[in-house]
Each structure stands twice: as structure tokens, then as C-alpha cells.
Structure 1
Amino acid sequence: MSSMERKREKHSLFSLNPDPRRKTSAEIVTEARHSLRTLHTQRPFTPRDNHRHLFGETSSRTRDGRPPSTFSLYSRNFETQDSRPGSGTRLSPLEHKPILPVAQDEDPDPVTSKPLPKPPSDPLDLKRGVAGARARLLRAGSLTSLPPVARPRGMEYVSADSRPEQKKLSVKKRDKDCGGLSILNPHRTNNESGLQHPDSVFSLLQPDKGRGPLAGARTELGTELHVGNEDKPASQEAVDESVLWNVKIVPLLKELESVAAGGSKEAVELLCDACDRLHGALAEQGMLGRRCKRRAGLLRTLFRLIDLNSDQLNLQLAKLTLALSVSGNNLLNICKLIFKISRSESNDILFQNNSIIDSLLNVLRFEDVLLSGEAVLYCVGTLKFLSGNSVLLRLLLAKDCVGLATVLMQKLHPLAQPDHTQFSIAGHILVQLTATLRNLSDLSEARPLFVSHGTLTELLQVLRHHRGDKEVCTNVARVFSKLSSYSDCCLALAQIPHCCTLFIEMLSKHHQKQDLVLRLLFTLGNLTSRSDEARVLLFTAAGCMSELLGLYGTYLGRGEPPAACAPHAPAAMETSDPAVCPVSLRESEDVLVKLVRVLANMSINPAVGPALAANTQLVDFLMDTLDFRSMQESEELLVNVAATINNLSFYQEDSSVVRLRGLTVAKLMLKLLLSSSTEAMLEATRVFGNLSQSMEVREFILRNKVHQFVVTLLDSKNPEVCFSACGVLTNLALDPSSRATLTEEGTHTKLADCLRDFGPVDWQLAGLVCRTLWNITEDGGTKTGTEPPSMLDHQEKQALQEVLTLYLDKEEVLQWDAGDAICDLRRACWEMEFLPVAQRLRNRIKNQVD
């Protein structure tokens, strides 16, 4: 080798100064491995609530202002006339008294009497001829054999045209006016009357006693049609429905009556089977919904079965009742009935064997939240309970519960104004709905649906609209903390505008609610670990650093609550919570771990990192954490703090506080380096690798014998540990005196062993080993000013030369398939990280051997 070449080599030592150029993926990987790293941590644990309540035991909602979780339901709670709920406005009675109509079997004087309006009639009575014919027809039926019974309370009929005074008519007077129909619903014909017997729950069946199921219908309806307009489609439809009713439905109702009256052990199973067949018959004949003309009486029959108090039967009744499109109070009570059944975990099997879940989802799909908000609440509360069962959870997923929940959230957004009359019930519903989504987010199959349905966007809207509702915010934060752990969901969340800004606002408003803060920070840590865009957006969000540092000081016990709380959320300062979070060491530990992780991940961005490294308050907090927390109590926290300092120490700008306080930081790192924790020791070594670029820190390392510990790390079988150790040794070998000290420790021999062991599997590590060997074997003065003895004997030099020659043989050591991303990366690392320095080192060794 010429003297000029030797001179050039002498001044070409390697160091770990970062190269600002980033041309290839291999360079990026190498740079990150040298210093910048994202941090990972465990997701916050949410204990399972073993008690099924609408709201948890720690709910901030007052008991007076929220719907109850426990209640009793009986048949008397249901309305006999299923109709839309009233408007709540009472109408004033009319001034005049109505003139009562004469009996239908008396002919009024056509001259002196004016025609009076007739009471509303059943659809079957429409267009059935004159009043006299109708009276004669009704009198033809034999009713003398039925016992005279009193009309049940609450069953009096009041027509739409009647006046309040008509309610005072006695039963006898009405009997006279209606042709002697004392026990019939006055607006029904004999064959379809709503007969109510006090001793029977199936009064629908009484008019046909003693006759065949079709006899009365055929005789009476035939007479009516003969008198009336038989050619009209409505009349024909009435005939068809009546016939089908008596043929298909009446036998099933009789079966229900006989089974219920029997009281056998098998009664529940038989009643469930009969209800199921009744449901099928009604569906087959097109009588579900509100199309059945005998619907009101049928509902009364079903409601009375509820008093049998069987959960299995009640689910069957609820399914059938919902299929009949009940509304108002009846819809609410049915939803409450299902909710009550779902409160017991032992009843989960009933929901697995019943299609009632489809009925519940239809309630959410079609009901108006404004009119049926409380019914929707109990419906969603039921789904929340059921989603705690793994089998039912997958069933809900298969029925697109995620998509339906997304649509329901969209319906609730217009109610989000605090002065809206339904704002409170909307919040109650969202507590249940977000808890259900929290459970669904555990399923891997559900995660793509949260993205494709736009559920993440709607959840952010919920968070924005209900930012003052701690329970809603906590549930949404739990959903985000779960989903953001997965790349596709995390990246989709990061792309939603103002996502990071909203999270900062939530942290500001709820900084005292530890479980909410914990999950928001965990989500931010996930976003910043995968998205460089999220790092910038978070750092530039209004009040971000003041909020994060305020939280750091609060949970570290070094300061007051975040100063940014006042402008962001003035309402939060009106609470009765204390100014400083009264959290214990253990409670604050998790928050600090997640918070420091966010800061470490943010610092990876080349624009954000230098700004964080120059933040004096941040560096002070990090150093205080290292100083006052012990490894025994706070291992994960201290490891994260060391990793954050490592990332910050990567930036060597003059404004860097870490660089200016390098010696103080190095002293704090000794605690971690000498600990029994491998993770802590590794992070401390990485920090020394960056800080050792400073002459002051290198002298500290040699003075405190830190280099001896670093040399022993080369014996580790962990490539990451060896990589970090080589980083420190490479910088230490920049000084001639340090090279001599390292030679005395036998560093060169250990480095040669590392090259042989890790070269073929880790070309980045192999390249760094060659750099360290190059620096150590560089000629220079020793402590005495003389030339150092050759570190490697002739045999060692030959062995090292053979290894380098082998590893430099491209065809021998590189076996890759074209198009394989991993193999392409390995090839790039070999060409850029190992090849240049290995060739130079081999030439030097060869010249020494020759």
C-alpha cells in the first residue's frame, strides 16, 4: 500500500454521526436501528363487568335522571288498544251535549229527525247495508246461552266522534242501543267480537262455542254480504280473512287456552311451540304487522300470557308481538321485557335458540328515535348484554350489527345539541351502543367493517358531540384503543381530519379521569408509531405540547394540571374535582408509560424530533423520572424514558438540551446499564452510543469503567445487544488513547467472533463490526506515545481475512429470489452496509499479512 493511501486511511475513521441523506430503505432501516425507534406497550386492561346493568356502578349519571335496570312487568302494564302514543296535550271538552241516537231497530221519523253520525265500525262492517238489516242480522245470533258478565275495566269503547258525556252511559243503555250486545265490543260483528270473559284469557274464542269454527262465520257473513254490496273488493277481502281466521288461527288460540289452563310441566314448551306455529300461520296468511283486523284482540291474548312468568315463553311472545308492529307503550314494555330476560347470563342460551335478535335489530333499524327513544335504549342495552357472550357476539357480527350501529349513531347526531329535548336519552343510548361496539371490536373479523362502514368517523362525531359525557367518551376511547392496535384501523383513524386535535381536547377536558386519559394516550401512541403524518398532526395540534407536558407533570407529581385545560374546556374547571389528580404511584405509572411512548414516537419525525430535544421542560421531566423512580417499581416506565432520550439524543443540533446535558444524562443511564433488566441495559447502551459522540461523555465512560461492561456485551447471543455495544465501541475508538484501552480488554477478538457468528444472518451488524474493527486497528499513539503492538497475531489475521473473503463472495453468501421483498432488503444491506467497509478492512489485513 502506498504512503498516500495509508495517510488517507488514517484519517477515515468511522463514527455513528447520522447521515442526513435517506436514499434507500436499507439506509432508513440502518438509521432507525442505530437510534430512532418506535415504542410498544400493552393495551390497557378493561375488567369485565359481571353485573348486567344499563349503567355501571361507577356511573356519573344520577339515578333519578336515568332509566332503571330493574323493574316488574305484568299484563296489566300493556295497553289494550295498541295505538300511537299520545301527544301529551289534553283536549278541552266540547260545550254542547250530544243527542243520543235511537236504537237501531227503531225507524226514525224521516221528517222530524235529522240523520245522526254512526259510530265507527269494524272494517268488516263497512258497506254492509242499512242499519235495520244489520240489527236483524245481529239479533239472529244466539247469545242467550252466554252468561251475563260485566265488561272488564278499561275495555269500554269510545268512538272517535263521541263526547266525554257518552262515557257515562250505562252498560244496559248501550246494550239497548246496540241490539242487546251487552258483552260484545260494540264495533265488531258476532263472529269477530272482542268478547271478554273474566275467567278466561282467550275471550276471542267464546262467540263460536257450541258451533263449528266456520258455522257462524259462513251464516252471518253470508247474510251480511247478501244484504250489502257483495261485489266490492273490501267485502270479499273481509270474507277471506274471516274464513282464514277461523280455519288457521282460532284452532291455535284454542290450543293456547287449553295448554295454559292445564298447568302441566310441559306447558311452557307446548305454549312456545304453539306461539311459534301461530307466528308462522299469521306470516303465511299475511296477517303480521298491522294488517290483521283482529290484531287488538290477539295482542290482548298474548299480553295475558306474560303473567305465566316464563322467560322462554316471554321471548316467544315478544318476538310475535314485535312482528305485529306494536308501538308506543306496548313497544317500550316489550323491549323492557326482553331486556329483563337478557340480564341473566343463564338466559343467553334462549337468545341463541330464538330469532329474537333479528326483531331487536329491526327495532333499531326502523323505529324513530324521537318517538321511541326509551324503547331503543332498552333494545340496545339488551344487545350490550348479549355481546358479552362470545357465541352471541359472533351472531351479532354476522347480522351486521356494526353497520346497523353506525346508522343508529347517524340518527342520533341531530339530537346532540344540549338543549334538545332528546339529548339525555341520546346519551343513554350511546352508552349502550358504544359498549356493544367495544365488545365487537375484539373480533378480528369485525375490524375491516369498522373501516368500510365509516364507523370510526361516526365514533369521532359521537366523541365531539358528547365530549362532556364521561361514560360515552370512555367507551369510545376503549374502542379506539383496541382498533388502533391493528395497522389497517390505525391508518384509517389517522387519516380522519382533526382526529389528533379532538383527542387533545378530550385529554384537556377529562385530564382527571385516569382510565379515559390512559386509553386516549394509548391510541395516540399507536397512531404515532405507524403514521409519520400523525406525528406532525399531533405535534401541530393546538395546545398539544402544553397539554402533554401538563399531564406529565401532574401524573409525575411535579406540577399542577395542564395549563391548556382552561382555554380548551372551561366546563371542566367547574367540576368539584381537586386541582391536582389524586392518583397513587401505581395509578400514575400506566399513564406515564403511555404518555412517554407518545413523546418517543413523535420524536422520530425529523421536523418534530429537534423541537422536542430542545424543549427544556420535557428533558427535565425525563431526567426527573430517571432520578426518582426505581427499577423495581417502574421498569417499563424507565425503559420508555431511556428510549425517548435515545431518540432525542439522535439529533445533534446546538439547541438540543439533551446534547447540552449529555454528561448528566450519562450519569443517570448508569442505573439502567447496571440493572438486571435486559431491556433497560439495552436502552442505556443505545443512549451511550449516541452520547459517546461527545468527548466529555467518552471520558466519563472510560473513567467509570463503563467500557468494560460494554465489551462484555459482545459475548451476548442477542444481535441487538451486540449492535448497541458496537455503536459505543466505534465512537470510543475515535481517540488513540481509547483504542489502546480497548485493545487491552481484548475487544478485537470478541469483535472477530461476532463477525463470524452474525455475518450471514445480519449484514447490518456485520458492517458495524467491521467499522469498529477498522477504528480499533487504526494506527495511533498509545498512552506512552509508542506504536501499539499488533492486536491480532498472524494466525488470527489469516482467519479474519478468510472470513471477510468468504462474506464478500456475493454468489456464495447471497441466496435470494427475485421479487422477494425481504431478500431484496438483505441484498441492499449487504451492498451498502457491509461491502464497502469489509473490502477496506480485508485490504488492510491482507497488507499486514503480506
Structure 2
Amino acid sequence: MASMERKHDVCSPFVPRRSSVRKTSAEIVSEARQSLRVPSTQRPFTPRDGHRQLFGNSSVRADRDNRPPSTFSLHAQNFDAPDSRPGSGTRLSPLDHKPKFPVPHEAGDPCKAFPKPPTDPLEVKRGLAVARARLLRTGSLTTLPPVEGHTDVKERLNPSPGQKQLSAKRLPGRDHTEGRSGPHKPGPRRTASESRIMQPGDDSGVRPTDNRAGQRTEPWNGNNATSPEEDAESLVWNNMIAPLLQQLESVAAGSSEGSVDRLCDLCDALYGTLAEANMLGRCCKRRSGILRTLFRLIDLNSAQLNLHIAKLCLALCVSGKNLLNICKLIFQISRSESNDIFFQNNSIIDSFLGILSNEDVSTSGEALLYCVGTLKFLSGNSAILRLLLDKNCIGVAQKLIQRLCTADDTNFTIAGHILVQLTATLRNLADHPDSRPLFISFSILPELCVVLRHHHKDQDICTNISRIYSKLSSYSECRLALAQTPDCYQLFLELLSKHHQKQDLVVRLLFTLGNLTAKSDEARQQLFQCEGCMGTLLQLYDSYQRRDDSPHTPTRKGPPPPNRPPAPPVCVQEHDDVLVKLVRVLANMCIHPAVGPALATNTACIQLLMETLELRSVQESEELLVNVAATINNMSFYQEDSSVLRLSRLTIAKLMLKLVLSSSMDAMLEATRVYGNLSQSKDVRDFIMQNKVHQFVVTLLDSKSTEMCFSACGVLTNLALDPPNRVSLSLEGAAVKLVDCLKDLGPGDWQLAGQVCQALWNMIGSGGGGGSEKLMDTQEKESLLEILITYLDEEEALKWIENEDLRDYHRACWELEFQPVAQKLMKTLQPSDRAASQHTKTWS
């Protein structure tokens, strides 16, 4: 790290020292090249369930028997025919006791005490009418007569006791009776003995009757008068709705090709007619008759038709059992991906979002569950996912989350089931780039933290939310929103401790913490200062480090961390996935100037890192070893006397050999960086020379990689501190390779060029001019001088850079990183008389 105030001393060590002065532009831009680095890793893969289920195969819900099912069968008979007729607004309270009626006993036969049936024929007919009405109200759906005027229906309805079977061509309506000729018209109220049986569920006050004589009659409303609204509704019903219902019955009775499409068109026409007449919702007094017709069509078992039926039923505001069954019906349709196209061409999603916005978990919890489960399936379709975003699904989800988090203990279980589906839906929505601003604007990330606090024992909910965080925390705006959530770090640590054996949950929370601490010093410190932070992380490390299934696991050296949890039953690759993310968190935390020294003195932490290097091979655990080396490199920056890492430097230097000698370029690069820091110590430099590591480091100069050459130059700079090492390095051709590196890579990276000059200065310049003759011949010296003279010309050095922003950056690096040490090196190489006559623009 360079600064205007730092001098490039002779034989200065490779590792830069921290400066208390404010950073220069070059220091800010070149942070990626500094010794303390943030290791990278990939986001954990989010698996998809092979089959659409309410709770997938990975669910760990404890009570599988009592949770709502994913599969069921629905038929017309499952629906309540007189669904929620227009209510009076008064709900009666149940009786606290069962009344008992005295039964007199006469002559020992109690039956004689009851009244006898009437013998008058008129009374018999009245009794039959009442009995029939009662049977129709309480019977199954298949016993309900269809709407009046619907002809050509082949099936016959089951007759009530004492009643002849009705012909399919005689279809009495719900709110009016059959007319023998012409459209039916209302008439005066008839007596009970004269009127036909009314459809159950009719409490509108209208008593329509047969118009046998053709005269105009009026409905009875108690005052023998009718309102204009009732007249208008009757007109719409008779002229528009009843014929549509009749056509639905007629087409359903047939089996012609294209009947499903025809029924769908009729449903759309019925929906449009009801909407235009303002008869949707619960205001239509004949809605029960409409619902009965729609319910019968469900048995045709057409997914496309059933969606149209469901749309109509939801628009008519079904409730209770019928609402639940409609949600189940739509859920059942959505389980097949082939039906997704029907949802794209139907506004049923709007109805579903309306249910989520208006229904309460205490009264419609199970309906909400299947509703959100449907959205979870549909959000896996990219086209529908876009629709959900456009229809404000995330805003609806936020309001639902708030209601679910305030559910009482009675509804806590069903609220948890709903949250499993809702968080899975949000997990899918988080995949879309356009969702990120919505997640932030609706404060979804803080809301999910509230969910985690309320349902911290539910592994399904916690896992889904961890997947959302792992996706969104890769983006700066989402990281900021999450980091501003109070106590989120403490919450994550508590979840890691509680669910330490849930590997997919642990790895995603660690990945999120790694993202939060990647670029924020404040996040690094806040995480470290959380209660039990290092204890939780190191317990996890130790737990996933052990490979109990391997007979070759070496014996641990030293005591394990306290309160070690049992090892999770996962394979080595899954262990590595957790450890990679965990070690990355440690590496990021080390960057903070207060946290780094504390970790460098943590014996358990250093021991676990060294154990990983010992247990794993580069072939099976490349990414893990690379991250471990990056963490050790960050810790080695702090050279306090109490540093455990400093005391273990020779052991670490030996463990780094396997990385240097591997075929992985990333592993070689990280090991070289570690050697660059550790080689400040004389014993490590001696180890490097004795084990011929310097030969390999010199070879890295041929890699043509700026990062690799920069790290190799750092090691060579430190090795050249010892005079005996300079000859060995020269014999390996280090000086010549350094000159070639300067020539080929210098103009594109002035920070690297400055480090090359520093290494050359330590090798050939520290002993004066005579030293250079032993290590470089005259031709090599002339070539190096020519390069330096050219590069010290500012116009020549920067002439090929056209972009002004890049020009300013390169000029800063050239002035701060290259020019000072290059001038010293050139002065050493030049004879005194030549130096006096040599003139360059940058000498002064």
C-alpha cells in the first residue's frame, strides 16, 4: 500500500505497513491488490423439488400426519350448495344447555301422547311441501334441482321422499318456479298449498309463482310492493343470466367436441354480465342458484373450465367450506406445470391476491395456505413470475407477513404452514432482477427477520428465508437494507447455533454473513462484537471439520473448542461447502484493524485452520484450501508478539508446500501470498531456501499473470534481504526474469512495476555498483537502464492510455508506486559520470 509520506527504504520488506494518514487515490483504487483481501465464493445452489408439493421432500416438519395434504379429490358434492346466502348480519350465540321437553305417558305407551298427523288432505299437502323443502336444504348437492328453464339436460335429479322424480327438462330455479309457457313473470303471493317448493338458500323475500293464466303478477315483499332495484335484477336475471345458465346446463349435458371451450366462453359471458349488472360479490339475491350450476360443472374434470368456474365463485365471494374447496381446486390445477398456460390467460391470480389481502388466518387459514401454495408453484414459471411482480405480489406478501406474525397461539401452527409457502414464493421472486427494488421498498428483508424471531424453531421457514437472504445479499442495495436491520447478526448467530445440523440452512446463513462483511468494516466489527460470535463460529468449524466416516482422520492436536455439538451426518463435500463459507467470514472479519489482531491471537481458530490444511487435499477441497490460505494471509498481516499465527509460522510454511506444488493456479497464488508475509521472518526465509521453494517462486515470473508475478516479487523482495540468498536467486535467473517481467507487464500495471524494481533493488542495488556486476552482466544492465529511462518519461509511460479516468489512476500509481524506487534503482546502475550527464524529465 503506497502513500506520499512512505519512503521506499533499501531492503524494505514486502508486506506494507498501515499508515495513519488519509488514503490517497492510488491506495483506494488498488485495494484489491493489498495484502488483506476478501476471498470469493459461489452462492449455494438452490435445489428445486421434482414434483410440486405443498411441503417438499426436504421438509422437516415434525407432524407429517396433521399437516395439510398436497393431494385430495374434489367433486361437486364436496361443495355447500346454499353457500352463504345474503346474511341478516346477526349471528346467534349457541345455547349453553340442551332443552328437555316433558313427554307425558299415557297408558304406558309414550307414542300416544304425540299429536296425530292431520287427516285433512290440504294439511297433508302442506306437510309434504315443508318436508320436501327441508330435505332439499339438507340434502347432498346431487339432489338439488337445477336452474329454471334449463332444458336438454340428460341427467335426472334424485327425488326427495314422497316426491316424484323431476325430469331434467323441468328445472325449477332457485328464486322462481317453473313456467309452462313463455318467460316467467312474478305474481301475487300464493298460499302454501298452492306454491311450489322454493329452492333452499332463498331468503331474499321474493316469492315468485307460476303464471298459469298469463296475467302479470308482482313479488311479495310484505307490503305487496317491489323496489326498482329488484325489478332491474329480475329483468337481468330473466333476460340474460337465466339463458346463460340454461346454456351451461345444456352444453354440459352434451359431449360434443369443443364443449369445454364453449363452457369457458359461457362462463366468461356470465362473469361479464354479472359485472355489468353490478351483481358480483354477495349482493346478488339469486347467487346460490348460480353457484349450484357452477358446482355441478366441476365434475366435468376440466382444468381449464375449473379455473373459469373458480374465478366466478371467487367473484361471488364464496366463503367458509366453499372458499376452502375453491382454493383447493385451484391448488390442484396448479400442481401440473402443463396447466400454467391457463393461469397466464386468466385473471384468477388477481382473485388470489385479493384473498391474501382480505381473508383472516383465524377464519380462513387453510384456504390461505392452499392459495399461497398455488402462488409458490406458479412463481416457478418465469412468465407468471413476471405477472406476479406486476400485480404487486410482494406488497401483498408484506401485509400478509405482518398479519401472520401477529397470529395468536391458536392459529400459530397454521400461520407457520402458510409462511412456509409464502417464504418459498418470495424465494422464487427474488430470482428476478426487477424484484430487488420491491424487496427494499416494501421492507421485506426486515420483515423476514421478524418472522425468523417468531418462528425460529421452524426449520422449513428458516431455510426458505436463508435462501432469500443468500440470493439478495449479493447485491449492495440489499446488503445495506439487511445490515440496517437491528440485531440481524445476533439473530443469524442464534439460528446457526440452534440449527447447526441443518446443513442447507447453515451454509446459506454463513454465505449471507460473508456477503455482509465483504465490504463493510462496520459489519465486521458488529458481527465480531455479538455475544458468542467466535464460540458459535468455531463450534461450527470444529463440527463440520471432523470426518467421522473416514478411518484416516488424524488425531486432533490440542483440546477442541468447548461445548462442541455432535457432527452432522453429511458427506465430505457437504462439509466443505459449509467450511468454505465459514472460513470466508473469518477472512473478512480479519480485515478490520481491531478484529484482525484478536483473531490472530485466537489459538482455537489458528489450530482449526492448520488442521484443515493438514486434513484436506487440493484435489478434493481446492476452494476450501484457497480460502484457508487467504484467511491465514490476512491474519499474518498482524505481526504482534502475542500472535499465535506468528508463533506457528514455520508449521504454516510447511503446510503451504502442498498448495505451492499443486496444479491449481489459485492455490499456488494464495500460498505465494502467504509466503510473502511469513518471509519477513528469518527462519521462514531459511525454510524457503532449504526446501527449494525459491526455485518455484522464480518460475512463477514466467506466468505472465500480473497477480502471480506481483506475489512472486513480494517473496523475492524479502528473500533478497539476506546476502547469501542473492547469489542463489541469481543462479536461478531471478534478475533476468524480473527485467523481462518489468518490460512486458510494467506499462499496464505500475504497482507491479514498482514491486519489480524493489526486488531488483534488494538483489543488485543494496551492495552498491559492485554487487550488480556479480548478478547481472553489462548487456543485462544496459537493457534494464533503457527500460527505466523510458518508463520514467511520464509522456512515454502514459501515452497509450486514452481514457481520462484511467489516465488519472495510472498517473497516481506511476508517481507513488513506481517513480521513487525506479529512480533509486537507476541511480545505482549508472556510473557516476553517466549519471551526471543523463537527463530525464522525472529526475529532480
Aligned residue number for residue 525 of structure 2: 536
3-state SS in 1 of match to 2:410:
coil
1:10/1:608 CA distance change after superposition, 3 Å: closer
1:213/1:706 CA distance change after superposition, 3 Å: same
Q: How far is the alpha carbon of 1:24 from its aligned partner?
A: 2.0
Q: How does 1:382-531 map to 2 (within 5 A)?
A: 382-415=374-407, 420-531=409-520
Q: How far is the alpha carbon of 1:260 from its aligned partner?
A: 1.3
Bigger shift: 817-826 or 681-690?
817-826
3-state SS in 2 of match to 1:529:
coil
1:199/1:829 CA distance change after superposition, 3 Å: same
Q: How far is the alpha carbon of 1:816 from its aligned partner?
A: 9.4
Q: How far is the alpha carbon of 1:689 from its aligned partner?
A: 0.2
| Counterpart pick for 2:627 among 640, 649, 653 | 640
Amino acid at match of 1:325: C
1:453/1:726 CA distance change after superposition, 3 Å: same
Residues 213-261 of structure 1, C-alpha deviations (whole Å, 9 max, x = no match) = 364579899643799869x8x7111111111211121111111121112
Residues 720-778 of structure 1, C-alpha deviations (whole Å, 9 max, x = no match) = 00000000011111122222222222211111111111112111111111111111122
| Counterpart pick for 2:602 among 607, 612, 615 | 615
Aligned residue number for residue 294 of structure 1: 286
1:155 matches 2:147 = no
Bigger shift: 647-656 or 25-34?
25-34
Aligned residue number for residue 41 of structure 1: 41
Q: How far is the alpha carbon of 1:335 from its aligned partner?
A: 0.4
Q: How does 1:269-308 map to 2 (within 5 A)?
A: 269-308=261-300
Contact 1:818 1:824 in 2 (8 A): no
Residues 781-836 of structure 1, C-alpha deviations (whole Å, 9 max, x = no match) = 99xxx956343333333332232222222233335999965443333222211122
Contact 1:201 1:257 in 2 (8 A): no
Q: How many residues align?
A: 739
Q: Distance in 2 between matches of 1:620 and 1:12?
A: 36
Q: How far is the alpha carbon of 1:346 from its aligned partner?
A: 1.6
Q: Distance in 1 between matches of 2:538 and 2:682?
A: 32
Amino acid at match of 1:23: K
Amino acid at match of 1:311: A
| Counterpart pick for 2:218 among 220, 224, 227 | 224
Q: How does 1:564-643 map to 2 (within 5 A)?
A: 579-643=566-630
Contact 2:352 2:371 in 1 (8 A): yes
1:656/1:67 CA distance change after superposition, 3 Å: same
RMSD value over aligned CA atoms?
A: 3.2
Residues 138-192 of structure 1, C-alpha deviations (whole Å, 9 max, x = no match) = xxxxx9xxx999847753399xxxxxxxxxxxxxxxxxxxxxxxx9xxxxxxxxx
1:210 matches 2:143 = no
Aligned residue number for residue 535 of structure 2: 546
Q: How far is the alpha carbon of 1:87 from its aligned partner?
A: 9.3
Aligned residue number for residue 785 of structure 2: 801
3-state SS in 2 of match to 1:64:
coil
Residues 344-366 of structure 1, C-alpha deviations (whole Å, 9 max, x = no match) = 12211211221111111111111
Aligned residue number for residue 266 of structure 1: 258
1:55/1:462 CA distance change after superposition, 3 Å: same
Q: Distance in 2 between matches of 1:746 and 1:340?
A: 74
Q: Distance in 1 between matches of 2:561 and 2:374?
A: 39
Aligned residue number for residue 172 of structure 1: none
Aligned residue number for residue 359 of structure 1: 351
Aligned residue number for residue 692 of structure 1: 679
| Counterpart pick for 1:328 among 290, 309, 320 | 320
Contact 2:185 2:216 in 1 (8 A): no
1:202/1:676 CA distance change after superposition, 3 Å: farther
1:829 matches 2:813 = yes
1:469/1:88 CA distance change after superposition, 3 Å: farther
Amino acid at match of 1:804: L
Bigger shift: 486-495 or 659-668?
486-495
1:689/1:10 CA distance change after superposition, 3 Å: closer
Bigger shift: 219-228 or 726-735?
219-228
1:542/1:82 CA distance change after superposition, 3 Å: same
Aligned residue number for residue 667 of structure 1: 654
Bigger shift: 32-41 or 464-473?
32-41
Structure 2, unmatched stretches of 5+, are: 1-6, 103-124, 140-156, 158-163, 188-207, 547-555, 836-844
Q: Distance in 2 between matches of 1:226 and 1:201?
A: 24
State the TM-score, normalizing by the size of structure 1.
Answer: 0.81
Aligned residue number for residue 111 of structure 1: none
Residues 87-140 of structure 1, C-alpha deviations (whole Å, 9 max, x = no match) = 99566566789xxxxxxxxxxxxxxxxxxxxxxxxxxxxxxxxxxxxxxxxxxx
Q: How far is the alpha carbon of 1:508 from its aligned partner?
A: 0.5
Contact 2:249 2:293 in 1 (8 A): no
Amino acid at match of 2:13: S
Q: How far is the alpha carbon of 1:515 from its aligned partner?
A: 1.2
Q: How far is the alpha carbon of 1:267 from its aligned partner?
A: 1.4
| Counterpart pick for 1:18 among 8, 11, 16 | 16
Aligned residue number for residue 169 of structure 1: none
3-state SS in 2 of match to 1:422:
helix
Aligned residue number for residue 112 of structure 2: none
1:820/1:469 CA distance change after superposition, 3 Å: farther
1:76/1:462 CA distance change after superposition, 3 Å: same
1:413/1:633 CA distance change after superposition, 3 Å: same
1:762/1:24 CA distance change after superposition, 3 Å: same
Contact 2:632 2:674 in 1 (8 A): yes
Aligned residue number for residue 367 of structure 2: 375
Q: How far is the alpha carbon of 1:375 from its aligned partner?
A: 0.4
Residues 572-630 of structure 1, C-alpha deviations (whole Å, 9 max, x = no match) = xxxxxx93323332221111111111111111111111111111111111111111211
Q: Distance in 2 between matches of 1:196 and 1:272?
A: 30
Q: How far is the alpha carbon of 1:336 from its aligned partner?
A: 0.6
Q: How far is the alpha carbon of 1:517 from its aligned partner?
A: 0.8
- Percent of pairs identical after alignment? 61
Aligned residue number for residue 746 of structure 2: 759
Contact 2:8 2:820 in 1 (8 A): no
1:789 matches 2:773 = yes
Amino acid at match of 2:23: K
1:297/1:748 CA distance change after superposition, 3 Å: same
Amino acid at match of 1:244: V
Contact 1:771 1:837 in 2 (8 A): yes
Contact 2:499 2:505 in 1 (8 A): yes
Residues 307-357 of structure 1, C-alpha deviations (whole Å, 9 max, x = no match) = 222111111000000000111111111001101111112211211221111
Q: Distance in 1 between matches of 2:276 and 2:331?
A: 29
Q: Distance in 2 between matches of 1:736 and 1:31?
A: 32
Bigger shift: 750-759 or 30-39?
30-39
Aligned residue number for residue 68 of structure 1: 69
Contact 2:490 2:530 in 1 (8 A): yes
Q: Distance in 1 between matches of 2:234 and 2:215?
A: 9
1:772/1:317 CA distance change after superposition, 3 Å: same
1:658/1:440 CA distance change after superposition, 3 Å: same
Q: Distance in 2 between matches of 1:435 and 1:770?
A: 56
3-state SS in 1 of match to 2:570:
coil
Residues 368-411 of structure 1, C-alpha deviations (whole Å, 9 max, x = no match) = 22211110000000011111222222221221212211111111
Q: Distance in 2 between matches of 1:300 and 1:277?
A: 17
Q: How far is the alpha carbon of 1:700 from its aligned partner?
A: 1.0
Q: How far is the alpha carbon of 1:30 from its aligned partner?
A: 4.6
Q: How far is the alpha carbon of 1:506 from its aligned partner?
A: 0.3
Q: How far is the alpha carbon of 1:31 from its aligned partner?
A: 6.1
